[in-house]
Structure 1
Amino acid sequence: MQYFAALTQGKKRVEAARVYLNDIPEAGGRAMPALALKPASKDNVWTPVGTEMLYAFVDESSGFVLTDKSGHILAIVDNDGLSKTVIQGVTPPQKEALIKSFQADNIPEYKGMVTLPV
């Protein structure tokens, strides 16, 4: 796929994930856009992030060094762990409430390595 076509499609998927997350009251409307494209292949083929919606909470036990000590990072990711939207500073009570919302919406948890925007 050409770069701009993949980017356009990826941006739509990122926006859909961000809107979904911002509609959850516990998210507080703080969802930020993240990654719209998968890493390019060796032959420069571009692919948008996937359509899948999974959630993942990231903390320092995940191998990341978080400069914000106010809580976890929540990411909505695709099947490859590419984050489409993120919220920083999720507190433990917010995390529990968000998990209940995801379960009610049948959004599965992603348990692999999450790719966050730099």
Structure 2
Amino acid sequence: KEVNYEHESSTDSQDSDDSNQLKAAKKLSIYDRLKRAVTKIRKSNILRDSMTHFCETLKIPKLQLLQDMKVRWNSTLKMLQRCIDLRKALDATMMSDSTLRPLVLSSSDWKIVEAMIDLLKVKNF
């Protein structure tokens, strides 16, 4: 039996993992990427502290990200609005974490989020 002594270096393995995460993230909708990022940040003390740090640094109000809930009809709107309000801090937090980095939204993605907000707003007549 032949033994293969070749192995991937840890950086090669990490690059492969990053590439796979990026490919998987690209298949998600903009909404799903934001929702996953919000969920992960809300569940992690370290990421919440990172958000607070970036809010302070960027002089953005220190507001908590809001989670979308299936049973609340307007929670999607509130989550998206809060993400827009905290966009710079959210982007910085996502860029600082290797597991969130593949979920980062582009400028055109953020414009779509703004359009989604406009669609979800209830018009009062």
Q: TM-score range by the shorter chain?
A: 0.3 to 0.5
* TM-score under structure 1 length normalisation: 0.33
Higher helix share: 2
Higher strand share: 1
Structure 1 or 2, whichever has the larger Rg, is: 2
